[in-house]
Chain A
């Protein structure tokens, strides 16, 4: 309760500082009223965009691209990480490739994706998948390599072999690594998707990045700031919905932190 109160107070103070600070700076002619929108006009824009549907449409386009690409990336990355950790030949080949590609900022995939797939949804998803896949693969690989061998020995004496050991021992034992990799993958995917949406117009759907770009072209600062706020909110929500449950589970079971 106290924490909620603190948070509410903080954000109310932030809004007030924004509003009155802007008023003062505009009145003293130091800031242009066009470049710094009032929080109220941002709220009005968001209401309008919500009412005429553009906001939700863009939101849906972006979230769909993101989630689809992201889940494909995770679904490929985890097994791939298990394989590169398990088989030396895979680690020496795919493992090295992954390490290399992971250092490539994922927005660098955009030109290639456009040439391969054109201005399509596939291109967008490809960028998201490439942003996610390698960091998930590397963290899974890393997690498995850090499983204490005594877990495997103990499991062996209890009759666990082969695939069973992989699913019931190595995979859960690497969970702390996997979750942090999945989170990093999310961050990469989200950033690269926004970059792609801002710089490339894909005619099959206008996402939040396009809306942001569009705001700039129209010189509508309240639109730019409003869309930025929405993007921040999605990031926060994703953290709370997708990762927090896992992180809480890990903290509780492993006892790694007090929540």
Chain B
């Protein structure tokens, strides 16, 4: 019992500092200025949502925090340490299910634990089952991925990214492909898990209401090149209901700001 318990301990979340980050992609002769001089600070245990239309570089920023991409200029620090490669302290949950079809649910959740030293197989299994239970899929531990619904797959993905006990969770439009009913349920569950596991979460979405529902703070991006336009503090009690009127008011405010920034951009706006 002792070792897995240590592994399952709630650990201190991390503080992220993004300072003057720029990134340009080159594809042949075409240059895309994805991010231009973005600075952002995310507190320990904060839930921050990055919102903006496609092409605003929010996913690129997330990939850079994950260590999958690197900025041309500027720096990204995780607890004062420069991000130079992907690490299990910063786990990513992708938009489309990036689950491995050759493994079952348990196998997928264990995958990230296999690479964690100081755990034996029994402990890995125990840790994986704990997170599978946390996302409410205990009955499906031995199911194949293709047998699960879209919502269940994203739950497995959530369990997989939680399993190595990261200090920050990076979520790239994780609910984008799901139907409204399933999404609503996941909003509730995610808030519960966040409260229980104390993670710093950076959540990318183009759905303003979703951002207002989940985030302590909503950061608004505009595209071409990707820049931070405005930030909104959401001071609503939790757990929040996506359908509540006070939440709708916040969402309306953010949407209005988004529209004014887009039209203000004139020819560069989509």
Pick the contact of A153: B68, B90, B102 (CB < 8 A). Answer: B68
- Chain A residues contacting B161 (CB-CB under 8 Å) are 157
Q: Are A254 and B96 in contact, CB atoms less than 8 angstroms apart? A: no
Say whether B136 faces chain A, with CB atoms less than 8 Å apart: no
Q: Are B102 and A175 in contact, CB atoms less than 8 angstroms apart? A: yes
Of the listed stretches A3-11, A158-166, A186-194, A231-239, name the one at the interface; the rest are far from the partner chain: A158-166
- Chain B residues contacting A164 (CB-CB under 8 Å) are 115
Q: How far is the CB of A41 from chain B (nearest CB, A)?
A: 50
Say whether A253 faces chain B, with CB atoms less than 8 Å apart: yes
Q: Are A151 and B164 in contact, CB atoms less than 8 angstroms apart? A: no
- Chain A residues contacting B67 (CB-CB under 8 Å) are 157
Say whether A150 faces chain B, with CB atoms less than 8 Å apart: yes
Q: Are A159 and B92 in contact, CB atoms less than 8 angstroms apart? A: no
Return the chain B residue nearest A171 by Cβ.
B102
- Chain B residues contacting A156 (CB-CB under 8 Å) are 68, 86
In this complex, how many residues of chain A approach chain B with their Cβ under 8 Å: the count is 21
Q: Are A159 and B115 in contact, CB atoms less than 8 angstroms apart? A: yes
Pick the contact of B100: A153, A173, A252 (CB < 8 A). Answer: A173
Say whether A100 faces chain B, with CB atoms less than 8 Å apart: no
Say whether B239 faces chain A, with CB atoms less than 8 Å apart: no
Say whether B144 faces chain A, with CB atoms less than 8 Å apart: yes
Q: Are B94 and A153 in contact, CB atoms less than 8 angstroms apart? A: yes
Q: Are B91 and A172 in contact, CB atoms less than 8 angstroms apart? A: no
Q: How far is the CB of B164 from chain A (nearest CB, A)?
A: 7
Cα distance A12–B94 in the bound complex, in angstroms: 56
Say whether A108 faces chain B, with CB atoms less than 8 Å apart: no
- Chain B residues contacting A175 (CB-CB under 8 Å) are 102
Q: How far is the CB of B228 from chain A (nearest CB, A)?
A: 24
Say whether B147 faces chain A, with CB atoms less than 8 Å apart: yes
Q: Are B144 and A158 in contact, CB atoms less than 8 angstroms apart? A: no
Q: Are A154 and B94 in contact, CB atoms less than 8 angstroms apart? A: yes
Q: Are B146 and A254 in contact, CB atoms less than 8 angstroms apart? A: yes
CB-contacts of B39-81 with A (<8 A): 66-68
Return the chain B residue nearest A158 by Cβ.
B112
Q: Are A253 and B144 in contact, CB atoms less than 8 angstroms apart? A: yes
18 A–B contact pairs at CB < 8 A?
Answer: A150-B94, A150-B96, A150-B98, A153-B68, A153-B98, A157-B66, A157-B91, A158-B111, A158-B164, A159-B86, A159-B87, A159-B115, A172-B103, A173-B100, A253-B101, A253-B104, A253-B145, A254-B146
Which residues in B have some Cβ–Cβ distance to A below 8 Å?
Answer: 66-68, 86-88, 90-92, 94, 96, 98, 100-104, 111-112, 115-116, 144-147, 160-161, 164
